[in-house]
Amino acid sequence: MRKARATAPPASPALRCAIYTRKSTEEGLDQDFNTLDAQREAAEAFIRSQRGEGWEVLPERYDDGGFSGGNMDRPALQRLLVDIEAGRVNAVVVYKVDRLSRSLLDFSRIMEVLDQHRVAFVSVTQQFNTATSMGRLVLHILLSFAQFEREMIAERTRDKMSAARRKGKWVGGKPFLGYDIDPRGGRLLVNEDEAHQVRAIFDLYLREQSLVATAVELNRRGWRTKAWTTKRGRVNEGTPFNKVNLHGLLSNVAYTGQVSHKGTIYPGEQPAIVDPAVWRKTQEVLRHNGRTGGRSVRNKHGALLKELLRCNPCDSAMIHSYTVREGKHYRYYVCLKAQKRGWSSCPTKAVPAAEVERFVVDRIRAIGTDPAVVGKTLAAARAEHAEAVRRIEADRQVEEGALRRLNTDLRRLMDSGGE
């Protein structure tokens, strides 16, 4: 009688594992072996230990360096969710739970996606099984502590920065014209060439008393805002001056050797490069022009087409303005680009406001009498409203589902007597 031939047990189906890594800051990411690499190495080692169960690492990297875990606005996380929904992932492996999220609500939403697509979730350093009620309860407790830790860190950081500002220290941010950041950190150093430009800008504005005219002259000279290089070597070029960045420069109290924090002025550690009397005079002119509009008077009479008109040649917004001649107000819509960068920057200067508004109103009245247009408009409005309701209902169901699961886990734990 022939002996039966032994057969090998069937191989376990492949479990495609996506490794997700995250670090809140960019510090140290330029190193040859950084914390993201360390997280991935630990996850790969864990997956290798499960090779007999069919686990395998996907080659795609999902690394979010310099992104907070307090929200879901992370490019690698969004790519991971897309791949999960496309069926390309069977398990998500992280070093710690808080690498995926520090927010209970966000984590519940992510777990909802994983559950819908039957994707497992594994934390290398925190062993639990999300298939059991106890495992899910432990997971929620871990996330609660992670969220609490994030909020405490944020609170301590705010307190530390507030204390540093009150002491006049530089607490970071983008450098501004006239100063360089000390490579050792914590303070500003005077850039003499730029400081000369800053003083000239204040003098020019006090002479012109117009942000637009001053910006036009600065750009004619070829002057630009601050150019600087980040710690990671990324170069930020200076940009042409306009009303917004010029107003920010002229309003910066740091040029007088002081710092501002929550409306209070404190002595700063950086040397002053603008005479305080000149700075105060500049603020008076800025405030006066803010009330009267300076040479480009702000609209005090309403603008029917405010934020609706666009300049045809350059596609900039058309803003409302007016002039006074012989006691009469004449309203116009003015190209924003031309107003900010000078009238030579765009062929469109200004158009009479009353004529444009009359034309638009007449057209709207004509459209409003067309039954087909009215019907389509109402249908579109109803569809938009229905979609908004659908999104709100979906969010509500996600949150209620997470709450129900947590309550169920708590009841089971209490019924089992903590076993």
CATH of residue 202: 3.90.1750.20
Domain-located, residue 44: yes
Residues 19 and 158 occupy one common structural domain: yes
pLDDT for residue 259: 84
Instruction: CATH number of the domain at 140, please.
Output: 3.40.50.1390
> Is residue 310, in this structure, part of any structural domain at all?
yes
Q: Which of 163, 193, 212 is the last residue of a domain?
A: 163
Q: How far apart are CA 227 and CA 237, in angstroms?
A: 5
Does 395 map to a domain?
no
pLDDT computed for residue 6 by the predictor: 46
Closest by alpha carbon to 146, among 92, 94, 103, 95?
103
- Tokens at 13, concatenated: 């189906």
Q: Note whether 93 and 110 are same-domain residues.
A: yes
Name the residue range of residue 265's domain.
Answer: 179-292
The whole-angstrom separation of Cα 403 and Cα 64 is 28
Q: Is residue 66 part of a domain?
A: yes
The answer to whether 118 touches 112, Cβ cutoff 8 Å, is: no
Burial class of residue 75 (count of CB atoms within 10 Å of its CB; 0-12, 13-18, 19+): exposed
| Same domain membership, residue 149 and residue 31 | yes
Domain identity same for 213 and 228? yes
In a domain, 137, yes or no: yes
Query: For the chain, what is the domain count?
Result: 3
- Specify if 85 maps to a domain: yes
Q: What is the pLDDT of residues 340-376, one digit of tens each?
A: 776 677 887 678 888 888 888 878 777 777 788 778 8
- Of 129, 163, 197, which residue is a domain's last? 163
Question: In terms of domains, do 213 and 87 share one?
Answer: no
- E runs forming strands in 185-274: 188-190, 228-229, 235-236, 258-261, 264-267
Domain end (from 269, 292, 315): 292
**Coil, strand or helix: which one is 333?**
strand
Reference 245, options 172, 318, 176; nearest CA is 176
Residues 26, 159, single domain; the answer is yes
Q: Report d(CA 213, CA 340) in Å as an integer.
A: 9
Q: Look at residue 86 in the predicted model and tell me its pLDDT.
A: 93
Task: Please list the ranges in the chain whose pLDDT falls under 70.
Answer: 1-12, 104, 127-136, 138-139, 142-143, 146-147, 150, 161-162, 164-168, 170-172, 185-186, 232, 291-302, 322-325, 327, 342-343, 349, 413-419
